[in-house]
Structure 1
Amino acid sequence: MGEIFAGRYELIDPIGRGGVGAVWRAWDHRRRRYVAAKVLQQSDAHTLLRFVREQALRIDHPHVLAPASWAADDDKVLFTMDLVNGGSLAHLTGDYGPLPPRFVCVLLDQLLAGLTAVHAEGVVHRDIKPANILLEATGTGRPHLRLSDFGIAMRKGEPRLTEANYVVGTPGYFAPEQMLGAEPDFPADLFAVGLVALYLLTGIKPDAEELIGHFADHGIPNAPEDVPEPLWQVLASLVHPNPDCRFKTATGARKAVLAAVEMLPEPTVEEEIVEVFDHIGPLPAGYGPDGPPKTKGAAGE
């Protein structure tokens, strides 16, 4: 049996590393289900700050992966969330390279639906990137994504907890106004969504600085080679350097994506089928759908 944390969570095997700590597959003895548990050292003040931010969120939406519970034990804390085992969009693009436009539109629709729920709570995510967008292992069926990692999310108007000139987020997915120290706002998240979409369609991380420079010198660029024109019209609005020229809401962007899909060419028979497979792998010997081999006497039993 694995280590029992706080008398409730049985840590089974490591399944990844987040930006602030190890991520484990764990068994929740009280809820009798497998969960993902991010384990953090209490001694790290910055880590704890991110923990407090993530734990404060309670957004219930099928395309959002927010923390569900937390616990503390000795010098560590953990928080848990649903176990999502299909890897991230970074994994998917690493496996397949450029993804079919219609498949990307399904992902975009789901991402913008989740972001609509996040923004409805007044929360700006501030770190949307392929590695923070996870996938259920749906095989060759319809994909199902979950927007995760709210460690640096902020509610609009809340005081910043870092120096005003300290830029927070992932380089390469910053909106231009973020780099200039603007207050966090929803259009910055939409800029990052546009860059993620370009990454999925081209298989290459977009050069945001080059893109911004082209807008400044020549106006809206032509559609990249792998991006159909109707979809590019949507993405060009998302990645416009001027936030006033972007979509005002995730809902508006989502409607535009759905309209663009109607104008895309029908998929060809040669188009590769994308499979979202299990990235976590089987449970260790003795563990099954009902949990550890022996749970008698554990918390909640």
Structure 2
Amino acid sequence: MTSTGPSFAGTLLDRRYRVDGLLARGGMSAVYRGVDTRLDRPVAIKIMDSRFADDRTFVDRFENEARSAARLHHPNVVAVHDQGFDTSAGPESKRAFLVMELVDGGTLRDLLDQRGALDVPLALTVFESVLSALAAAHAAGLVHRDVKPENVLIGRGGDAGGVAKVGDFGLVRAVAGSSTTSADVILGTVAYLSPEQVTSGSAGAPGDVYSAGILLYEMLTGRVPYSGDTALSVAYRHVNDDVPAPSREVPGLPPALDELVLRATRRDPNARPADAGAFLAEFARVREELGIARVPIPVPSAPVEEQPDVERTMPVMPTVPAAHGAGGPRGTQALPRDPRYAAPASAYPDTEPEAPAARSGLWTALWVLVGLLLVGGIATGVWWFMGGRWVEVPKVVGMEQQRAEQVLRQAELTPVVTEERHNTTPSGTVIRTEPENGSRALRGEQITVVVSLGRPVVPDIAPGTPLNHAEQAIRDMQLTPKHDPAADEYSAEVPKGTVVRVQPRPGSQANLGDQVTLIVSKGPPPTPVPQVTGMSKQEAFQALREAGFEPFEAGEEFAEGVPAGQVTRTDPQAGATPGNGQRVGVYVSNAVEVPVVIGQPTDRAVRILSRAGLSADADSGTGRFSFVVGQDPSPGTFVARGTTVHLEVIP
């Protein structure tokens, strides 16, 4: 739906943002290309319709949602730079505006219009970007509420082609809170509405997951799963039918992709992934199993009238079915929440002719009854449209969980409890609600109740826990894991690379973000080199191998008192702990045992010593008839080769 409204081209908003050419115009806003004159950068400027500026509820929610969206810093989210209110034409024409990142390209709708069904690698590449953006938003407490191809922008600048970004976070929620819209407005596009949005108007993270599942179905098949002659028929198929597997439209699609779509589009929100982060984890696992690589995203060209604008999501008003137009994938038509509008036809048997007076009285009574029903219906409708569908979120912060849930249910709201650690709020006590107290909410809407788990405690990490699992357990407790390899220890019981213990000890209370030190096992302590001195070489080699070392011959040397052929020492030395499997050098003695030459003729004694590798020194010559009567070193002594033996001879 487009409208003709005043153009802001040429205006300088907030003395900073110059408005240039119109990019798109919708029923509730117009989007312009502009320039931030302070930073000299191109921007996109969305200027809301003037009727919202006087709505205090819209203004408050617009500011809150803009601030929340501005905190989202993610490569697949259209960045929100600023928000404000323009009064350049006077206070009576004040308009809210939003300054966003300018994405130069087209939308996913343009890409689908140009290509039809996308091939699987391209569909998964685009979908991963969309899920990553939604996961970041859900982690920050933001729900999009209107996930559809028109809100997925594809611009230039990606590493491998285009980059897909999701825009308009928070605007749907802001418009939904405005009293300028009907009290029974459903903001969302009929082809992508989750069942709970149709039936109760509640929209949470599971609703975004459902819409993302429909988006994936459309990218894989080229069409949305439901179409019909009226928007009502399309919406109630979401409520009453299960989304079919995309392989029915495109045979040959992997069953894992069918299961991914079906998981995301379960009619029961509790049967879907809890949020986009959980869905992204399932998606990544399926993609890895299928072995499908990322591909460049082509940047589509988009005509001006097809630029993304959240207000193409038109308000859905409660009307009778006869008022409905056709419901297609790109816009919604008038849609009642409850199909109980048409009374069933009744057949009355014609038994006897009635007297004219009786028939007249009967018709009078019927007309009176119809009049009463109409008056009652009008009164109910007036109450409904004037705000009966909205309630104020009560203050439950500081209450115990059970009491807080009771208070919210009494206010006709649906509490959804999440838990987190808190340094000061006692366990079991409400920290905050989302939306916060005092906000307007639809009757039956889900209100997130954040309950304290108390201060974090050091988790019970058993010895032998893998390091990455232990670190994740500590992060889950909102503490900071720290591993210093220099502090690791040997352990004969705990496998190498797993946790031996943590400091502080498990169960200790801590504050959010405190460090927990992980001591990791270096495996069994190394075996010391055994003492093999005095052994034969063969015995020494066997002993070293049995101790887990690799022995080798390091050479020969003299060692006093060690017989020839026996081990003198090892390198590393005995008792050292070099680590199992290391080589150990073995040194063998080359000592000579002094032979007995006493009583031998001197010349014979000299020859005996010479053959043993020793030299002789006779004190009185080597005459023909001389013989040895003493020797030094004495017989049997181990000496180095070449040692001189002093001989005492006579005559």
TM-score by length of 1: 0.77
The one of 234, 239, 253 equivalent to 2:279 is: 253
Alpha-carbon distance between aligned partners in 1 of 2:303 and 2:18, rounded to the nearest angstrom: 17
The yes-or-no answer on 1:152 pairing with 2:176 is no
Question: Quick one: which of 238, 251, 266 aligns to 1:240?
Answer: 266
Q: How does 1:219-234 map to 2 (within 5 A)?
A: 221=245, 223-226=247-250, 227-234=253-260
Give the letter aligned to residue 15 of structure 2.
G
Instruction: Calculate the aligned-residue CA RMSD, in Å.
Output: 3.2
| Structure 1 residue 103: Cα displacement | 1.2
Q: How many residues align?
A: 270
Summarize deviations over 1:239-259 as a string: whole Å, max 9, x none. Answer: 111111111221221122222
Change (3 A) 1:247 1:53: same
| SS, match of residue 39 in structure 1 | strand
Distance (whole Å) between structure 2 residues aligned to residue 145 and residue 19 of structure 1: 25
Question: Cα 1:37–1:165, aligned 2, differ >3 Å: closer, same or farther?
Answer: closer
Of residues 180-189 and 38-47 in structure 1, the stretch that sits farther from structure 2 once superposed is 38-47
Contact 2:31 2:45 in 1 (8 A): yes
Read off the aligned partner of 1:62 and give its amino acid letter. Answer: P
Cα deviation per residue 1:159-208 (whole Å; 9 max; x = unaligned)?
96667754222222111111121533211110000011111111112216
Deviation at 1:263, TM superposition (A): 4.2
Matched, 1:56 2:67: yes
Q: What is the aligned partner in structure 2 of residue 69 from structure 1?
A: 82
Letter in 2 for 1:170: T
Percentage identity across paired residues of the two chains: 27
Matching residue of 2:50 = 42
Return the alpha-carbon distance in structure 1 between the equivalents of residues 206 and 168 of structure 2: 19
Alpha-carbon spacing, 1:274–1:35, altered in 2? closer, same or farther (3 Å)? closer
In the alignment, the residues of structure 1 paired with residue 301 and residue 154 of structure 2 have an alpha-carbon distance, to the nearest angstrom, of 9
Question: What displacement does 1:153 show?
Answer: 3.2
1:53 deviation in Å?
A: 5.7
Structure 2 matches for 1:120-135, cutoff 5 A? 120-135=139-154
- Relative to structure 1, the CA distance from residue 30 to residue 172 in structure 2 (aligned partners, 3 Å threshold; closer, same or farther) is same
Check whether the contact 2:125–2:297 (CA below 8 A) recurs between aligned residues.
no
5 Å-filtered alignment, 1:1-301, equals 2-18=10-26, 20-44=28-52, 49=58, 51-52=62-63, 54-57=65-68, 58=70, 59-71=72-84, 72=86, 73-74=88-89, 75=93, 76-138=95-157, 141-150=160-169, 151-153=171-173, 165-181=184-200, 183-207=202-226, 209-210=236-237, 213-215=240-242, 221=245, 223-226=247-250, 227-264=253-290, 275-277=298-300, 279=302
User: Would the alpha carbon gap of residues 165 and 126 (structure 1) be closer, same or farther in structure 2, given more than 3 Å must change?
Assistant: same
CA distance in 2, matches of 1:222, 1:25: 38
Q: Deviations over 1:218-261 (max 9, x none)?
A: x9757333343211111110011111111122122112222222
Distance 1:46 1:126 in 2: 24
Separation in structure 1 between the aligned mates of residue 218 and residue 159 of structure 2, nearest angstrom:
21
In structure 2, do the counterparts of structure 1 residues 121 and 260 end up closer, same or farther at CA, with 3 Å as the change threshold? same
Asked if the contact 2:110/2:301 (under 8 Å) is kept, the reply is: no
Using the alignment, how far apart are the partners of 1:3 and 1:222 within structure 2?
48
Deviates more, 1:141-150 or 1:88-97: 141-150
- SS of 1:84's equivalent in the other structure is coil
The structure-2 alpha-carbon separation of the partners of 1:202 and 1:138, relative to structure 1 and needing over 3 Å to count, comes to: farther
Does the CA contact (< 8 Å) of 2:217 and 2:246 recur in 1? no
Q: Which residue of 1 aligns with 2:315?
A: none
Q: Is there any run of 5+ residues in structure 2 with no aligned partner, and where?
A: 1-8, 227-233, 305-651
Counterpart amino acid of residue 168 in structure 1: L
How many Å apart are 1:131 and its aligned residue?
A: 0.5
Conserved? CA contact 2:198–2:239, under 8 Å: no
Which residue type is aligned with residue 56 of structure 1? R
What letter is aligned with 1:194? G
Q: Which has the larger radius of gyration?
A: 2
The TM-score with structure 2 as length reference comes to 0.38
- Aligned residue for 1:258, secondary structure, equals helix
Q: Distance in 2 between matches of 1:220 and 1:128?
A: 19
Structure 1 residue runs of 4 or more that deviate by more than 6 Å after TM superposition: none
Instruction: Find the aligned partners of 1:25 and 1:222 in 2 and give their Cα distance.
Output: 38
Ranges in structure 1 where 5+ consecutive residues have no aligned partner: 282-301
Say which structure, 1 or 2, has more relative contact order (CA 8 Å, 6+ apart). Answer: 1
Change (3 A) 1:181 1:161: farther
Change (3 A) 1:177 1:211: closer
Q: CA deviation at 1:279?
A: 4.0
CA distance in 2, matches of 1:83, 1:280: 16
